A and B are shown apart, each in its own frame.
Chain A
């Protein structure tokens, strides 16, 4: 446990001692801010029955931020250490591969959650000026952040895997972006295909990321979705672990 905390702390600190972390947060905040401006302009003056969080999820803005930010957050996790050689000093200390993977993922995830915090300010502005009393309601905000955390964990685990496979940050970012966009487009499939009762359709329906996040945004926590995200995240982290271990097979 000591190793895990030491590593997580260091990984998290690297985001904040360099400019990268602040640039990512600033970029995400800018995108969230502009998307809220666009949303509010589109809504005009009529009050909508939907909470603003739900509308936000339904727009491409959320997905753009998610798809762009996660590769940038995760690309350096393993790739930079391999490139600079510190991977060797890390792996020759008595740490286990599980500790390394879990610490790096946890640090990335915590940073990702910090990155979304400025959105609370946007919600506050909406509540204050747009007569949306529900925007900052604990249930909605909690559900929304849970959704953001879960879907983020999935995309970050993809990034971890990509970063563990290469020693080039650029390649890591490209691969995780491709995987992320792939998963994202896959989520369109159930929307486009006619619904059926056969198992293929049901399997596909599980990948409907939008629908699941929609629920979270309304403050509805569906355990199926939670398990879906958690298990996929664990699956990709498991693959990352295998990639880290693979140097022992070569």
Chain B
């Protein structure tokens, strides 16, 4: 193959918007969580469990984790794009990152649904 520099993949805007939207969701969730924790009376594990057993909290927590993993995907992919120069290595690292994040998302959901 001729070794020419090729650019023009034609994506990027969606990721840029998603990065900002997910950051916003995570910031809002952090506030909600702080309020919930502040309102939590003394009661140890049961009170802690009650917070996350609430339907709204489960919805928000799931949304938070999806946002977190999607945000991490864009950020870590940016790091590989900057520093991992061989194209093959970059592809392997991206696949490994995506695989780990999908696994983490499933794991997070499993923990949440168990409550």
User: Is B one of A's binding partners?
Assistant: no
